[in-house]
Amino acid sequence: MSSEAPALRRIGIVGLGYVGLSLAAALARKGCTVHGADTAPDVVATLAEGRSHLFEPGVGEALAEEVGTRLFVADELPTDGLDAAVICVSTPIDSGSREPVLGSLRAAAEHVARTCGPDTLVVVRSTVPVGACRSVVLPVLTRAWGRARLVMAPERTIQGRAMAELASLPQVVGGVDEESTRLGCALFSVLGTRLIPVSGLETAEFVKLTNNCHMDVMYSFGNEVALLTDRLGLDPLEVLRATNLDYPRQDIAKPGYVGGGCLSKDPYIMMSSARGAGRKLGLIGAARAVNEELPLHVADRVVELMRRAEVKTLLVLGWAYKGTPPTDDIRGTPIAAMTTTFSSAGLRVLGHDPLVRPETVRALGGEPVELAEGFAQADAVLVITDHPAYRELDMKALLADSEVRLVYDSWRVLDGAEVTGLGVRYHGLGYAAEVSA
């Protein structure tokens, strides 16, 4: 492969969610001229004003400085020539069949085919089944242009650290041919990170799925441990602490919810790819089942504990899918799986999150409240995320004169001894503490 790297400095990005917007901000910071396109009018309007429609550290500052100079936002890409067009649209799974839905991917490819030309490098950044770049995107481009430069360069950052990781994580690049791979490496070289060229589109597609499915499997083992300690009356954190401590062959993950825009769907995309190849992925499917069972198990447990205590008002702390690093992303949030159980039990659900908007909490089935207001009204508290703000809660002050009689701390971020010392029951995943006399 030639080491010559042509300048690709005028970049289009289709889809301005967490993935596309972070990449747009990072490229603009590196001096590229970036044209972002999105189909949501409110997203376009907000970004065009230099404001972000989502929480991601560093993005808001980049928008404030770069919009109108190096970063431009519209509902379509410009038609006067782009060096590269990056597709960053969502690839959800169907809620019934669990098969990937690639309509947005196809529509994005059609948009690029209409606005760009055969000299434009087209990059797929979205997570897709193995073979989708070749079977979905490439035919759209070649029908329009006769030939195409196409690469898969999977996004592998996490919410809350995307800008930092774009500057540090290696970029995997696999092209439809050698020229495409060379151009893809030239594009991402501007980020200043290590480049990992691979043999083709399918290898790059598989890399992303392998990353996320491996994480899902790892997390599922800690969750399996917690679900069993719940039956055995043991403390899962004590078990895992002793298991891991100074032992060179294990590093078992702490139990906790596994969600987000990737881990909640990518195992299904991997399994879909496997079915197409005549293979069943038993381990990956079982791991996903364990991780999806966990929020349902917790919801049932909380309802049971509240029924015993004869209370009906629950304060839920944490409506994003995770708390550390902080995000406002609700894709794959555990509360979405819990609310049906809470509603069926007749519970009143109050909701607080440091970043998730009140209207989003309301849409998910909660009544938005401030912290003090929630503790004043609640009979029980469920901590879903390990957001740093929840680690710093003054439980003595919040529980004083409150009617709260139960705290279920999913991540064990609170001082259980302090809670039980105030006469309040304290539970965690697979764990229950004795209430102090």
**Cα 215 to Cα 371: distance, rounded to the nearest angstrom:** 33
Could you report the per-residue pLDDT of 54-108, keeping only the tens digit for each? 999 999 999 999 999 999 999 999 999 999 999 999 999 999 999 999 999 999 9
pLDDT above 60: residue 225: yes
Q: Which two tokens stand for residue 78?
A: 């410009």
pLDDT reported for residue 161: 96
Average pLDDT on 267-287 reads 97
pLDDT above 70: residue 4: no
Contacts of 136 (CB under 8 A, 6+ apart): 102, 105, 106, 109, 128
The one-letter amino acid at 363: A
Looking at residue 135, what DSSP letter applies? I
Contacts 24+ apart (CB under 8 A), 45-54: 47/16, 47/21, 47/73, 48/73, 48/74, 52/21, 54/17, 54/18, 54/21, 54/328, 54/329
Average pLDDT over the chain, rounded to an integer = 96
Q: Enumerate helices (H) and strands (E) in the chain, giving the number of each.
A: 19, 15
Could you report the per-residue pLDDT of 141-175, keeping only the tens digit for each? 999 999 999 999 999 999 999 999 999 999 999 99
pLDDT reported for residue 1: 46
Q: Which residues pair with 250 in a beta bridge?
A: none
The one-letter amino acid at 217: V
**Cα 179 to Cα 157: distance, rounded to the nearest angstrom:** 26
Q: Provide Rg for the chain, Cα atoms.
A: 24
Task: Kindly indicate the confidence band of residue 198, based on its pLDDT and cuts at 50, 70 and 90.
Answer: very high
Q: Virtual CA dihedral for 119, 123, 128, 134, nearest 10 degrees?
A: 20
Residue 350 dihedral angles phi and psi, to the nearest 5°: -95, 150
pLDDT reported for residue 13: 98
Task: Kindly indicate the confidence band of residue 433, based on its pLDDT and cuts at 50, 70 and 90.
Answer: confident
Structural domains of the chain sorted by starting position, each given as residue range(s) with its CATH number in brackets: 10-202 (3.40.50.720), 288-432 (3.40.50.720)
pLDDT reported for residue 437: 47
pLDDT reported for residue 2: 45
Could you report the per-residue pLDDT of 344-361, keeping only the tens digit for each? 999 999 999 999 999 999
pLDDT above 80: residue 436: no
